[in-house]
Amino acid sequence: MKRRFVFHVSSTLAFSLALQFVGLARHILIAAYFGVARAMDGYLVLYTLVTLVAFNLSNVFDAVAVSRLVQIQNRDGVDAFWKASNRLLLQATVTGVALAGFFLVILRLALPILAAGFSVSEREALVSLGTYFVPWIIVVIPYYALAAHLKAQWNFQWVFGTEIVTVLVSLTVLWLHHDGIENLPIAYFVGYLVATIVLLLRRGLRRVPHNVAAAPIARDMVWQHFANQIGTVNGLTDRFFQSFLAVGGISALGYAGQIVNNLSSLLSFREIYVVPLASEAGRSEKIERMLKGIVLVSIPVSAFLVFFSRPIVEVLFARGHFDAVAVASTSRVLAITSIGLAASSMLAPLLRIFQITNKVLFTHVFYASWLVCIVVFQYIFVFLLKWDIEGYAIGSCLTAFLLTAWVAILVSYCNIVIVWRRVLSYALFAAGLAACASYLAVLGSAPYSGLVKLLIAGPLYGCVIAVGYLVIHRRIRVIIGAT
């Protein structure tokens, strides 16, 4: 099992790196076509609402459906697994249509909160734009169900491979049609439609005898989704504060957030750990090794983004409608939010422990704590201090660190024993090494700018980190399960 997990981690990282590459190409196109403007701000506002209504179900499928399907197959056999998966796919298809209708109903009710700082005419434009999200919502929920089936069977390569297909298809559609912001959700819909067809063909269809009982996966998912929906208040509150930022502020946060969030997903191994953690055997040891690996990778990555945020933004986005003002604001936001990358990368697997161990109450506690942090920090930095997007980014960074510390405490009540002293020792080592590498990289690349600066600083920074990790290579081999 250990070798199998290591294999899937390495292959997942390879697929994720490829996904990051094509994903960046798509974001480069988006930045060039739409820049930092009110239209892009509006799209991101609607994307937040759609995420709260439908897209956050991906977390429920990954955390609950995948682990439950694994447990059903191990406990009840293959027929029971297929019976549960078939029912899940049917329920997902119906749910996709229902959520699309619900989104259209709730859209007008939510905009006064999500877009409180927008004018009346801007809100009306958002209502029109919202209809273009409907096909995307309908197709994405069955996609999640198909992906859960294949993940439960350790077919991660197919799932992550189709994610690359999704990006490539949406990138092509966007390249061909980009006259208006409405083409963006259409491009994503086409990408997910193709991916859904591919996953369905790989999964196949299988009839199961009627006498096989279907385990109640949907019931557990409903409870978890209800817990997640409490977090809807957090998302609405977050967008409420963002709507009062300067024009283009939401877009700048969106571009910086894409970089940080994608890296956070990559550094937390795309959550494939849900499958091995579904088994109780060695669960504490697995999660501790995972956290050690996360801090060893995320802290150096975070430091590099902090010190080289401007050339990164220039190289990625500085073209088309993405002007010098957009570069300056986005790079400042990226530098601040990158500080919390290590915390957010650790938070993901810790939160999954609540779903795996069925501690739904702790999920409620987490969302309530998150809401308090949003209100307190954003009120201080956005309304009182009036630090605009920089203040918002600082508040988000502080929230990430506080929530990670709080969730770590709650995890100790889930029959999980993590020796945090050992994890923090790895974090301190990585931070010290990253500080030395940053100093040398900044010094060595000082005379240059843009792409040349990154081409000099990147290898120099990477060499220092690699040399430092060679010193502890035996401990790293233990972490990855090579010994």
Instruction: Count the alpha carbons within 13 Å of 194 in the hemisphere toward its beta carbon.
Output: 18
Q: What is the pLDDT of residues 23-69, one digit of tens each?
A: 778 888 899 898 888 889 999 989 988 988 888 888 788 777 887 88
Angular region, 136: left φ>0, alpha ψ -120 to 50, beta rest: alpha
Distance separating alpha carbons of residues 105 and 55, to the nearest angstrom: 17
Angular region, 419: left φ>0, alpha ψ -120 to 50, beta rest: beta
Distance separating alpha carbons of residues 302 and 1, to the nearest angstrom: 31
Predicted local distance difference test score (pLDDT) of residue 248: 85
Q: What is the pLDDT along the chain (483 residues), one digit of tens a residue?
A: 444 444 445 555 666 667 777 777 888 889 989 888 888 999 998 998 898 888 888 878 877 788 788 888 888 788 888 888 888 899 999 999 999 999 999 998 888 888 888 888 888 899 999 999 999 999 999 999 999 999 888 887 888 889 899 999 999 999 998 888 999 999 999 999 999 999 999 998 888 766 666 556 766 676 666 666 666 678 778 878 988 888 888 888 988 988 888 777 766 655 555 555 656 667 888 888 889 989 999 999 999 999 999 999 999 898 888 988 999 999 999 999 999 999 988 998 888 888 778 787 898 899 889 999 999 999 999 999 999 999 999 999 999 999 999 999 999 998 888 999 999 999 999 999 999 999 999 999 999 999 999 999 999 999 999 999 999 999 888 887 654
Distance separating alpha carbons of residues 269 and 282, to the nearest angstrom: 19
Predicted local distance difference test score (pLDDT) of residue 60: 80
Contacts made by residues 212-215, CB under 8 angstroms, sequence distance 24+: 212/79, 212/80, 212/83, 213/76, 213/80, 213/83, 214/80, 214/83, 214/84, 214/87, 215/68, 215/72, 215/76, 215/80, 215/84
Contacts of 251 (CB under 8 A, 6+ apart): 34, 35, 36, 37, 40, 41, 44, 326
pTM of the model: 0.72
Strand ranges for 180-234 from DSSP E: none
Q: What is the pLDDT of residues 199-254, one digit of tens each?
A: 999 998 888 766 666 556 766 676 666 666 666 678 778 878 988 888 888 888 98
Distance separating alpha carbons of residues 384 and 159, to the nearest angstrom: 45
Predicted local distance difference test score (pLDDT) of residue 483: 45
Angular region, 415: left φ>0, alpha ψ -120 to 50, beta rest: left
- Which of 200, 236, 22 is CA-nearest to residue 112? 236
Distance separating alpha carbons of residues 392 and 384, to the nearest angstrom: 12
Q: What is the pLDDT of residues 82-104, one digit of tens each?
A: 888 888 899 999 999 999 999 99
* Rg of the chain (C-alpha set): 22
